[in-house]
Amino acid sequence: MCRNAGLEKQRRCGWLTQSEGPIGPPVWARHAVTLSTCPKSYITPESETLLEEFFVRRRMGDLDLSELSARQVEAFVILEKALTAEIKNGQETRR
């Protein structure tokens, strides 16, 4: 989408070489994490699939780890930890 609109240099997509895109102020920030390149360029199709599968399985209550590959289990543990932190942070900011 960015490439079609000619925005890859302004948004500093991660696939650009240093000479193609200037390093500048952060283009994305969340809690203690900041990036000077667009995070979208780092998301692989496999990552997106694991994320979607995590949320579907979680919503359906089907997180039987014995059915999953080690890679899926690792991804789901990381995602569960991140989701728990987001929920906790959201509750703390409402107080």
Domain boundaries, given as residue ranges, for the chain: 1-42, 44-94
Tell me, what amino acid is at 66? Answer: S
Give, for 76, the enclosing helix (H) or strand (E).
Answer: helix 70-94
- Read off the DSSP letter of residue 53: H
* 44-84 residue pLDDT tens: 889 999 999 999 988 998 777 788 899 999 999 999 998 99
CB atoms within 10 A of CB 68: 15
- For residue 27, the model assigns a pLDDT of 73
Is pTM, for the whole model, over 0.85? Answer: no
**Is the per-residue pLDDT at 15 higher than 60?**
no
